[in-house]
């Protein structure tokens, strides 16, 4: 089956520091990865769409200079929260869309990572 | 822009009760519809999806959903719930040809043994 991992699973940082979150597709290649943000008792909100080898496409209202996304390979995308502030505290979730037909991987389906809990003090 | 409404925030059922979770979307064009489940402490998993064809879609673990285009609805059903179905359920939609999911706020289901 398709497995997506995220690292770290939780992180606490001081205000003003930067935090990098990794999203990996473990057993399939992902041409497209998505980054979501989820506030308590709220829905997942799409932040950006990341295609391997090209610049990410950000949703309206998401600051591209604050949330840096790099999709350097078909199995890894990173989200860096720069100069984090307490209002950036949230649950960040990535998903990956498979690029090929493999056992257990459907190309029109997003597979989600377990999420990263970010707390900014 | 699309939006997805899930009317029930928290549903509490006894085991063996029937389940129906409502989902309505707003978008005038062709859509693809999904139900995802998030078990406690786990990541989102796809329950079922509708792209085209038979509007009654069967998913994993005995779940099904029916797409009613005239009502812009995609309600999730299960005839008899189990304690292990305790989880949060998210309805989501994409425009046809797009992979960008718009999620509802989720419905928390608690099944009492």
Q: Read off the pLDDT of residues B59-80 as tens digits, 9 standing for 90 and up.
A: 999 999 999 999 999 999 999 9
How does residue A102 score in pLDDT terms, banded at 50, 70 and 90? low
Share of chain B above pLDDT 70, in %: 99
Q: Does residue A102 sit at the B interface (CB-CB below 8 Å)?
A: no
Q: What is the mean pLDDT of residues A51-79?
A: 91
Which candidate from B32, B99, B105 shows the least CB-CB separation from A43?
A: B105
- State both tokens at A45: 């909100």
Cβ <8 Å between B105 and A46:
no
**Is the model more confident about A57 or about A109?**
A57
Q: Does residue A109 sit at the B interface (CB-CB below 8 Å)?
A: yes
- Nearest CA to B91 out of B1, B12, B2 is that of B2
Question: What local confidence, expressed as pLDDT, does residue A100 receive?
Answer: 64
Which candidate from B42, B101, B104 shows the least CB-CB separation from A46?
A: B101
Q: Does residue A62 sit at the B interface (CB-CB below 8 Å)?
A: no
Task: For A57, name the nearest residue in chain B, comparing CA atoms only.
Answer: B100
How does residue A103 score in pLDDT terms, banded at 50, 70 and 90? low
Share of chain A above pLDDT 70, in %: 93
| Residues of chain A positioned with their CB less than 8 A from the CB of B43 | 4, 93, 112-115
Distance CA A105, CA A27 (A): 9
Quick check: A48 and A33 in contact, CB under 8 A?
A: no
How does residue B28 score in pLDDT terms, banded at 50, 70 and 90? confident
pLDDT at B110 over 80: yes
Taking only the tens place, the pLDDT of each residue in A2-52 is 889 999 999 999 999 999 999 999 888 888 999 999 987 788 999 999 988
Phi, psi (deg, nearest 5) at residue A11? -150, 140
Distance CA A6, CA A25 (A): 9
pLDDT at A1 over 70: no
Task: For A97, name the nearest residue in chain B, comparing CA atoms only.
Answer: B99
Residue with tokens 């389940």: B19
Question: What local confidence, expressed as pLDDT, does residue A57 receive?
Answer: 93
Q: What is the mean pLDDT of residues B31-55?
A: 92
- Nearest CA to A74 out of A51, A92, A93 is that of A51
Task: For B4, name the nearest residue in chain A, comparing CA atoms only.
Answer: A43
Q: For all residues of chain A together, what is the average pLDDT?
A: 90
Distance CA A109, CA B33 (A): 11
Distance CA A96, CA A77 (A): 9
Collect all residues with Cβ–Cβ distance below 8 Å to A102 and sequence separation of at least 6.
A2, A27, A28
Which candidate from B42, B49, B103 shows the least CB-CB separation from A44?
A: B103
How does residue B23 score in pLDDT terms, banded at 50, 70 and 90? very high
Question: What local confidence, expressed as pLDDT, does residue A19 receive?
Answer: 97
Question: What local confidence, expressed as pLDDT, does residue A41 receive?
Answer: 75
């Amino acid at each position: 089956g398709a497995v997506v991992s995220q690292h770290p699973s939780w992180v606490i940082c001081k205000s003003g520091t930067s935090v990098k979150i990794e999203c990996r597709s473990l057993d399939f290649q992902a041409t497209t990865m998505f980054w979501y943000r989820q506030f308590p008792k709220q829905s997942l909100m799409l932040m950006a769409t990341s295609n391997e080898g090209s610049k990410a496409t950000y949703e309206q209202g998401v600051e591209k200079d604050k949330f840096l996304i790099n999709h350097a390979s078909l199995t890894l995308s990173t989200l860096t929260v720069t100069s984090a502030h307490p209002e950036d505290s949230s649950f960040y979730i990535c998903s990956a869309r498979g690029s090929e037909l493999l056992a257990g991987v459907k190309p029109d389906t997003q597979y989600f990572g377990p999420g990263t809990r970010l707390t900014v003090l | 822009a699309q939006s997805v409404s899930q009317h029930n925030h928290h549903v509490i059922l006894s085991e063996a009760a029937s389940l129906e979770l409502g989902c309505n979307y707003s978008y005038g064009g062709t859509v693809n519809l999904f139900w995802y489940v998030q078990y406690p402490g786990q990541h989102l998993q796809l329950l079922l999806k509708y792209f085209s064809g038979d509007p009654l879609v069967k998913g994993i673990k005995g779940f099904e959903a029916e797409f009613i285009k005239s009502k812009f609805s995609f309600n999730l059903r299960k005839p008899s719930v189990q304690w292990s179905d305790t989880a949060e359920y998210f309805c989501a939609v994409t425009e046809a040809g797009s992979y960008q999911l718009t999620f509802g706020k989720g419905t928390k289901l608690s099944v009492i043994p």
